[in-house]
Amino acid sequence: MPSTINNQQWIYRQHPAGIVGPEHYELREEALSTNLSAGEVLLQSRYLSVDPYMRINQSLKPTYNELPHALNTVQSAGVVAQVLASSVEHLKAGDWVEGMLGWQTHARVHHSGLRKLDPELAPVSTALGVLGMPGRTAWFGLTESGRPHAGEVVVVSGASGAVGSLVAQFAKRHGCKVLGVAGGKEKCDWLRDTLHLDWAIDYKTHQSADTLSQEIKALTGGVDVYFDNVGGMVTDAIIPLINRRARIVICGSISQYSGGLDTVELGPRFLHHMLYQRATIQGMLARDYVHRMDEMLRIVGPMVKRNEIVFEETVVQGFAHLPATLNRLFTGNHVGKLLVEV
């Protein structure tokens, strides 16, 4: 192996005021030393993740992090990579791992930050989806905060996304009646025909939260669990429909990520509905369940191996397309997990 390797990196250069795109990033090349210190592993990235939370990290206001993602550093991201060289026994050249390697083609990192993958269990790309952070978010968000019971009505916003599509399927397995809300006919057809949800609504066919609310009420009668990935108009429509002791899980507010986290957006004051129904809103984050990853994998892994879970992936080819693919999260029409393969 040569003493250095050409490493391409996407550098986060500029805060996006609205939609994020290539103009906020710069492609850089560096000569990465292949010389391994004790405990280190040399990796080649194969699947790089784009996730909505990346836009939270870029917000200029305090979020779950004290400071926004540092400018002029590699965009942080989950990556599935293959081992090129290793200084540790349990990882060998050719092995698959997952870790927060960032948007770069190669990385030399300490092994302790890596999760070794079993390619026999499922395609390794699932370590960024159903068997990774989105799967963990969906599983624990639904089971710990949503606490669904058979016969209850579960509504999922962003239902065709990486997390939403899993929440919807997990809720079906709990014996719930599930409504998926998504944008566009194609996504809604997929929710009904492929995920076999009880109902799907294209929120884009509604001009106002009021008519959306009426349609949701007509279909469901009322909502016991609302798993919210989106916020905004969809949430405005659902909150007046909550049933007694409803659980509202705040997993994301994607509708606000393109500027709305930095600049105050207005919406209806709804806290009186919480009072009327003695309902609960709970915010949750994937990071709170990192230590319970084994528990999720023990349950969801076999479901995936038995082909009982639809885990659609939209895979874009080429490292060059990373920033544009991040943009697609907020403007595109993909379903399931969006990934870049190199």
Cα end-to-end span (Å), the chain: 20
On whether the CB atoms of residues 233 and 218 are closer than 8 A, the answer is no
CA angle 244, 200, 304 (to 5 degrees): 95
Q: Does 266 bind a second copy (CB under 8 A)?
A: yes
**DSSP per-residue letters across 134-168:** HHHHHHHIIIIII---TT-EEEEESTTBHHHHHHH
CA distance 176 to 155: 10
CB of 43 to a second copy, least distance (A): 31
Q: Does 235 bind a second copy (CB under 8 A)?
A: yes
Looking at 273, 292, 305, 328, which residue binds a second copy (CB under 8 A)?
273
Q: Does 275 bind a second copy (CB under 8 A)?
A: yes
Q: Does 155 bind a second copy (CB under 8 A)?
A: no
Q: Does 329 bind a second copy (CB under 8 A)?
A: no
Q: Does 281 bind a second copy (CB under 8 A)?
A: yes
Q: Please identify which residue in the block is written with the tokens 């885990």.
A: 311
Structure-token pair, residue 299: 């349950």
Which CB sits closer to a second copy, 141 or 323? Answer: 141
Identify the H or E element spanning 245.
strand 242-250
Q: Does 231 bind a second copy (CB under 8 A)?
A: yes
CA distance 144 to 137: 10
Looking at 5, 142, 159, 284, which residue binds a second copy (CB under 8 A)?
284
**DSSP-based three-state secondary structure for 209:** helix
Q: Does 283 bind a second copy (CB under 8 A)?
A: yes
Q: Does 164 bind a second copy (CB under 8 A)?
A: no
Q: Does 271 bind a second copy (CB under 8 A)?
A: yes
Q: Does 279 bind a second copy (CB under 8 A)?
A: yes
Q: Does 276 bind a second copy (CB under 8 A)?
A: yes
CB of 19 to a second copy, least distance (A): 17
Q: Does 268 bind a second copy (CB under 8 A)?
A: yes
Question: What single letter denotes the amino acid at residue 165?
Answer: S
Backbone φ, ψ for residue 242 (5° rounding): -70, 145
Distances (CA, A) of 206 to 146, 201, 255, 270: 27, 10, 15, 20
Q: How many residues bind a second copy (CB under 8 A)?
A: 37
β-pairing, 106-110 vs 73-74, is unpaired
Looking at 121, 274, 315, 320, which residue binds a second copy (CB under 8 A)?
274
Q: Which of residues 52-81 bind a second copy (CB under 8 A)?
A: 56, 62-64
CB of 277 to a second copy, least distance (A): 6
Binding residues for a second copy, rule: CB under 8 A, are: 56, 62-64, 228, 231-232, 235, 250-253, 256, 260-261, 264-269, 271-285, 288
